[in-house]
A and B are shown apart, each in its own frame.
Chain A
Amino acid sequence: MTPGARSVLVYGDAQAEAIALVLQSLPAVAERNRIVYVRDDGTSDVAAETAEACDRFFEQRSSKPFNPGLTIPKKAKRVRFPVLELHLLWPFCCPNPFNVPEPPEFPVGRFPCADTFIINCAEQGMPAPLIRRRYVPEEWPAVWPSLDRSFQMESARLSAQDAQSDVKIGSFILKYFRKARLFWAVNVPANRLLAEVIYRLIDAGFDETERCAREDIEAAVAGFSPRELLGGVSNPVHPLVAEHFALEWYDRDEALACPGDRELTFDQYTAELIDDIIRTRGRAAGKTPA
């Protein structure tokens, strides 16, 4: 780092942390900037002087207010970037109300994300084989949420998000989500998307001499892990959703990383999720599952 390096604060969730890590690893950026990550949960131990010395503030657009106690100087250049999420490919995805941590194997639980259809079936007392059959019918049932309407909703959401961000990514997501895997789960962006956001963030936040080639950023993102940088947890896409949106990269039999260092295909994941919801729902209700 050169003497007199600028101080750059990157504020936000785990996605922002990953972005800060990549920025720190890019020589063209790191030589002239001291990149500091600030968690958005209020537990960051960043010193007040560090915030006060901030020259550039990269703020992930979020509903959470910036950490109380830290002040960003008015002269600092502020660049807002979006949270990366896509609901479109997981229309039934919801937080799992029955999920509980099971350390050490499952510190965040077996299935942090669940599925409203499966939960509703389990709550009606359906047995697992019947839920499995109903979950994968031959065609998308008319009574299920409209995927076309869902696409319109997601387009509106991304557009609204872009309107409040300096780094705009909604159009890119909608243009490429069929051609390339951009997300592993609703809130888990793939390397390809992370690299694109970082490219655009650098473009918006740094000088021309600090810009990086896309391939250098992609290499930096890929350099952190043999898996994807944020690819620890995946939710397989429903085959009828993949068919509807003509996802070119989709493979129903691809084994994907799941909590507990497991790798499960769509069918394995679905079967395990159904069994788990029946089991944990019964436990939550104080009943012994059949």
Chain B
Amino acid sequence: MNAANDEIFAQIKAIVIKTFRLPDDAQVGSATTAADVEGWDSLSHAVLIMNVEEAFHTDLPLERVYAVKDLGELANLVREAMAASA
């Protein structure tokens, strides 16, 4: 993972912690999935995606946002969307 991706992932991690009201030191990594986080269901997933879109000022491709398997894939999606809109 390069520096830009590190930064993107760090922001996503902060958004996940805030969205799901996790403790600041929660173990959240690129392999973290919805099953690992209490309260992360399909509905709160939509809230998470909207928070991510707002933070990165980008729209993510809706046909893919419900298929991401973990936070690493979400970070990749953000990177692709940002590159496409640059």
Measured CB to CB, the residues of A under 8 A from B are: 63, 83, 85, 87, 94-95, 97, 116, 145-146, 149-150, 152-157, 160-161, 186-187
Contacts and interface: CB of A to CB of B under 8 A. Distances in A.
A149 B50 contact: yes
A156 B44 contact: no
Given A156-B62, A156-B65, A156-B66, A87 B21 contact: no
B75 interface: no
A160 B66 contact: yes
Contacts, number: 44
B43 A85 contact: yes
6 contacts: A150-B50, A156-B62, A156-B63, A157-B45, A157-B46, A157-B66
Nearest to A160: B66
B29 interface: no
B62 A152 contact: yes
A153 B50 contact: yes
A161 B50 contact: no
Contacts of A154: 46
Contacts of A187: 43
Contacts of B47: 87, 94, 116, 145
A153 B42 contact: no
Nearest to A83: B42
Given A97-B21, A160-B66, A153 B43 contact: no
B1 to A, nearest CB: 27
Contacts of B59: 149
Interface string B40-60: 011111110110011000010
Contact of A87 (B46, B63, B65): B46
A63 B35 contact: yes
A186 B54 CA distance: 23
Contact of B42 (A85, A97, A146, A155): A85
Nearest to B67: A160
A49 B45 CA distance: 38
Nearest to B63: A156
B42 A161 contact: yes
Contacts of A157: 42, 45-46, 66
Interface string B53-86: 1100001001101110000000000000000000
B50 A145 contact: yes
B43 A186 contact: yes
Contacts of A145: 47, 50, 54
